[in-house]
Structure formats: C-alpha cells, structure tokens
Chain A
Amino acid sequence: MKSFNVSIAKAGVKIPMYLMLLVFVFIFGFPFYYMFVLATVPGTQMYQNPPHIFFKTSFFENVLALLQDIPFPVNFFNSFGIAALSTVTVIFFCTMGGFALAKYEFKGKKMIFFFLLSTMAIPPFLNIIPFFKMMVFFKWYGTWLPLIIPGMANAFGILLMTQFMQGSIPDALLDAARIDGLTEFGILRHIAFPLSKSGIAVLGIMTFINSWNNFLTALVMLPNTDKTTLPVALSKLFMQMDGDRGGLMAGTFLAVLPLIIVFVMFNKQIISGLAAGSVKG
C-alpha cells in the first residue's frame, strides 16, 4: 500500500492537513473537555463567568454528592443492560436481514427495500403515544422490554448492513460455499457475519449509543428513579434548587465514559474488518 500513502503524505499536503486535523480536534473535543472540567468543579462555582477552563479538584466530592441524589449504580446497570441487549439483538437480526437484501434475489425484494426506507421516513415523534398504549396493554410497562424488543430488527440497521454487505461479500464465495454443501444458515454464520465486521461494528456502536442516550422512551416506560436509566435519573438534577450541580456534571461525564469505551472497542473491529477483506483476492 505504499503508493496510497505517498499520495497523501507529500510534504506540501502534510502540514496544512495536520493543521486542519488539529483544528477539528479542538472544535470537536472542546465541549467534551469542558464537561470533564465541569465535573471537577464544586457545585457552587458551576456557573461562574468567565467559565472555567482548567480543572479543579472536586471530582470525588461531586461523585459522592451524586451518589446521594440518585442510585447511580442501579441506573448505570439499567442503562448498560438495556444497551447491551439491544446491541446484541440488533446486530443479530439486522445482519440477517441485511444479508437477505444484499445477496439474494427474490420476489418482492424491491418492495421490501422501499418499504424499509419508508418506515425510516415516518417522523417518530408522536409514535410514543400509541406505542405507550401498546406497552401498557402488553403489560410491558415498567420493564426493559419496550426498549429492546421493538427495535430489534429495525430498518436503519438492516439498510446499513445491506450497504456494507453488498460490497464486502463476493458472490463467488457464496457460490463456492453452496457447492461445498453449506446451508443458507451456515453461510450466514460462517461467511456473512465474519466478513461484515466493519458494518457490524458501526451498527453496534450506533445502537449502543442510541439506546444509552434514549431519554423520552425510557422516561415514559420506566417508573421511579430507582428503576430507570441514567439519563432519566440525571435529569432529575437539572435546575434543582439544592441539587448538586457538580454531581450532575460528574454524573453526565461518567455517563459518557462507557460510550467512549464501547466506541474504542468497536473501532478495532472496523479495522480488523479491513484485514479480513484484504486476505481475499
């Protein structure tokens, strides 16, 4: 891959490029850094002007205050559990569905494709009301189920996987596998899944993050601060008179850390997808 590198690494392009990257680092990274700073500022000094730029030392006090205000470990567990389950189920069902659309020809395929796309176009805003009605009817109110089951095979996931799989799985390989006697499910398991690591990683990241950050559905479906997810529990502290603002910021920061960890983990998968791809051909 030397020539690929050379094309970008030409000196004249290098410096402005790194400069631009650096600018973006600052622009994209600053609010996050600021969040970290605020997490270390004592609650009573939170709103000073000019705003803080360097960290202070109250992180652990803030965390303690937070633990008094909300049952952080429980909320964290709820958020994590729901997000993890969502991610696993979504990856499974959407890869399956995406494979169907990417590598098979069948009657009604175009219609399904169109249908999937159109379900994404439906503005989701008002759905919460009939959806809530249904969840009460099924007696799923107060459980994790509304946050996991309905989204398991969602249009976004399927279409995402379709796009990735179209490019990354050669038809020749599939034909060879069939000749060798592999069943369709076998192909799904031994070829489709392994070769789609990049797509799966992206889907996994997106799903985990969206599930974790979901506010309204969690708010409506999970009663009591003791049983709800982290974003909802933290919201209790917004603009509270006596609530510790430092705690809120510390909580917000801690709530984001798992997302970064998940991202880094899945990121490696995206790269290893590259390795798998380059072996063939």
Chain B
Amino acid sequence: MVETPKKIAPYLFISPFIILFAVFGLFPILYSITISFFKWTVAGPQDFRGFQNYITLLTSDPFFKGSLRTTFLLLVFGSLAQHVFAIPLAIILNDQAVKGRGFLKVLYFLPYITSTVVIALVFNQLYEQNYGWLNYILENWLNLPKVNWVKDPKAILASISIMVNWRFIGWNTVIYLAGLQSIDKALYEAADIDGAVGFRKHWHITVPLLLPIIFFAVTLSIIGGMQLFEEPFVLMRGYEQMGGPSNAGLTSAYYLLATGFHFNRFGKASAMAWILFAIIMFMTWLNKVVTDKLQK
C-alpha cells in the first residue's frame, strides 16, 4: 500500500479537475477570447477589430446597457429574493414536528424539474392578456385592472421575476436544508439551554451558522442571475422579439445568444460574455467581502 503523505494528498485530489480543465476547458476559453477581437460570423473571421467590440458594446450599442440594467433588476427581484423565502422554508422543513415534510420537500422541488415545455405552456396561460388565469383573478375576484403581463414593459420584469422565483426557490431550499442537516446539533442544544426561542434563535444561531452555505448559494444566484436566459427567452418568445417591447425582457445573456446565434456576430457575443464575466467576478468579490464582514 502506497502511503500518500499528507502534503501531496490535496494536490492529488484536486488534480482531476486541473487535468479535465486543461483538456476541455482551456481551449474554449482561449477560442472565445480570441474571437472577441474579431468580427466573427458563421463564415469565420471577417475582420480584426481589436477592442472595438468591447468599446461598441459599452458605448454605442443600443441594447447592451439596457440589457445589463434588466439583468440587474431581475437579479435582485428574481434571483436574490429567493433566499428570503428559501431560508425560512428550509428551517421549517427541517423541523421534525412539521407533518408531511418529506412530501413537501418533493413538491417544492418540482418546479426545478418540470420541463421547459410545460413551464412555457403554463406561464403563457397564466399571463395571457384576455383569457389568462392571473388577469381573471385580478378582474373578477379582486376587482383590479388587468395587467398586460407580457406586453407592458413595466409588468414584464415582474412576470419574469415570478417565473424565476417559482423555478428556483425549491432548489435553494434543498441546498439550505442539506446545509442545516450538517449543522452541529450540539450548538442548538446549547442555545436551548440558554433559553433562546423561535425566531430569535434562528436569527442569532441558525443563520450565522449557515453563512458559508448562504455565501455559496448567493454566489450561485449571482452567477445564475447574471446569466439568466431561459425564462425571459421562453416568455418573450425567443429571437423573434428581442426581449419584447422596449426590450424590457432582454437580459444580457439573451442578447448575447441572439447576437451570436441569430444575428451571426459571434465576436461581439463573445465580447459580451467576457464583459459579463468581469461583472460577475466583481459581484462575487463583493459578496465575499460582505459575508466575511458578517461572519465577524
């Protein structure tokens, strides 16, 4: 039996990632960086552009800046808002006194695994202007005016946020649940002895203990939120519409894919991807700084 000294072990354990990345991850990254400096179409490189793509996107492109704004708003109301629901839900579902929690867990996770086809069908039905369920409820049960969920630029953000929240709250709940399971029970017992009760206990004990998981889950939300594509794409009917009226539903990822796959400008799309990357890295760093401070 070969003895692996403690020193070498971590390098060995992490080496599969390094190797796989070197083989499969590196080329796409380099390729993507390279083409971002060109006008690049299906026919290949057309023109060397240097940083032109980046500059155009940040200055004169009519859609990119707006898409960033849309993406940020959806990040806050669609992706980050989920945690406000997911953490309490996870705490409740973690409590053994709650009946039916096994069943509930599966149910809450269902949105994540429901297929996109069905989601598109259901939400289109929900949001339909004249015959949809939401407007029906608004008009007939609550006596409120109908909302043009998919055509009114102001409503579109809400519509997409609802979809994203719906899709991923369960996902985050499961992550937090698993995290809660790994919290040392001894710490809870100590708190009980001290008389801490209910909400306060959770706020002061559970949440701080969960911080590493929260950091991770929030980072995932930031990354996912900044790359949000599927929900707006499905709701705004794909490439036909550039995110709907006033490009209200055009997230940066949506615009990126449209630019590459629909408008045949892969260089520009690639430049967008790297700008997004920079933004995501910045925000992740911010997240770390904030979380570290909270852990003090």
On whether the beta carbons of B284 and A121 are closer than 8 Å, the reply is yes
Which of A164, A183, A201, A281 is the one whose CB lies under 8 Å from B4?
A: A183
Given A100-B10, A100-B13, A130-B27, does the pair A270, B115 have CB atoms closer than 8 Å?
A: no
B-side interface mostly: helix
On whether the beta carbons of A134 and B24 are closer than 8 Å, the reply is yes
Q: Collect the chain B residues with CB atoms within 8 Å of residue A101's CB.
A: 10, 14
Q: Is A255 an interface residue (CB 8 A)?
A: yes
Q: Is A55 an interface residue (CB 8 A)?
A: no
Q: Is A193 an interface residue (CB 8 A)?
A: no
Which of B13, B106, B183, B212 is the one whose CB lies under 8 Å from A264?
A: B106
Q: Which residue of B lies closest to A135 (CB)?
A: B24
Which of B23, B192, B198, B216 is the one whose CB lies under 8 Å from A159?
A: B216
Q: Is A127 an interface residue (CB 8 A)?
A: yes
Q: Which residues of A176-210 are within 8 A (CB) of B? A: 178, 183-185, 188, 198-199, 201-202, 205, 209
Report B250-262 CB contacts with A as 1/0, cut-off 8 Å: 0001001100100
Which of B7, B14, B95, B256 is the one whose CB lies under 8 Å from A125?
A: B256
Given A116-B17, A277-B182, does the pair A163, B212 have CB atoms closer than 8 Å?
A: yes
Given A121-B284, A129-B266, A152-B20, does the pair A164, B192 have CB atoms closer than 8 Å?
A: no
A-side interface mostly: helix
7 A-B contact pairs sorted by A residue (CB < 8 Å)? A28-B107, A38-B121, A96-B13, A100-B11, A121-B284, A122-B273, A183-B3
Q: Collect the chain A residues with CB atoms within 8 Å of residue B110's CB.
A: 28-29, 31-32, 260
CA distance A16 to B175 in the complex (A): 24
Q: Collect the chain B residues with CB atoms within 8 Å of residue A21's CB.
A: 92, 98, 104
Interface residue total, chain B, C-beta cutoff 8 A: 91
The 5 closest A-B pairs by CB, nearest first: A184-B9, A100-B13, A130-B31, A100-B10, A104-B10
CA distance A49 to B118 in the complex (A): 16
Q: Is B294 an interface residue (CB 8 A)?
A: no
Which of B98, B177, B216 is the one whose CB lies under 8 Å from A270?
A: B177
Q: Looking at the complex, which of B62-70, B235-243, B275-283 is the stretch in contact with chain A?
A: B275-283
Residues of B with Cβ closer than 8 Å to A?
1-7, 9-11, 13-14, 16-17, 20-21, 23-25, 27-29, 31-32, 89, 92, 95-98, 102, 104-115, 117-119, 121-122, 125, 131, 166, 169-170, 174-175, 177-179, 181-186, 188, 192, 197-198, 201, 209, 212-213, 216, 219-220, 223, 227, 229, 253, 256-257, 260, 266, 269-270, 273, 276-277, 280-281, 284
Given A126-B270, A198-B181, A281-B185, does the pair A106, B122 have CB atoms closer than 8 Å?
A: no
Q: Is A220 an interface residue (CB 8 A)?
A: no
Which of A106, A149, A209 is the one whose CB lies under 8 Å from B11?
A: A106
Q: Is A166 an interface residue (CB 8 A)?
A: yes
Q: Is A44 an interface residue (CB 8 A)?
A: no
Q: Collect the chain A residues with CB atoms within 8 Å of residue B178's CB.
A: 164, 198-199, 201-202, 270, 273
Q: Collect the chain B residues with CB atoms within 8 Å of residue A28's CB.
A: 107-108, 110-111, 166, 169-170
On whether the beta carbons of A8 and B273 are closer than 8 Å, the reply is no
Interface centre among A28, A32, A153, A252 (most CB of B within 10 A): A28
Output the least CB separation between B292 and chain A (Å): 13
Output the least CB separation between B37 and chain A (Å): 14
CA distance A277 to B185 in the complex (A): 8
Q: Which residues of A102-135 are within 8 A (CB) of B? A: 104, 106, 109, 112, 116-127, 129-131, 133-134
Q: Collect the chain A residues with CB atoms within 8 Å of residue B125's CB.
A: 51
Q: A184-B5, A260-B113 are in contact. List 17 more A-B contacts (CB 8 A).
A: A4-B192, A7-B201, A24-B89, A27-B166, A28-B166, A31-B114, A35-B118, A104-B10, A112-B14, A117-B284, A127-B28, A158-B17, A198-B178, A198-B181, A248-B117, A252-B117, A277-B185
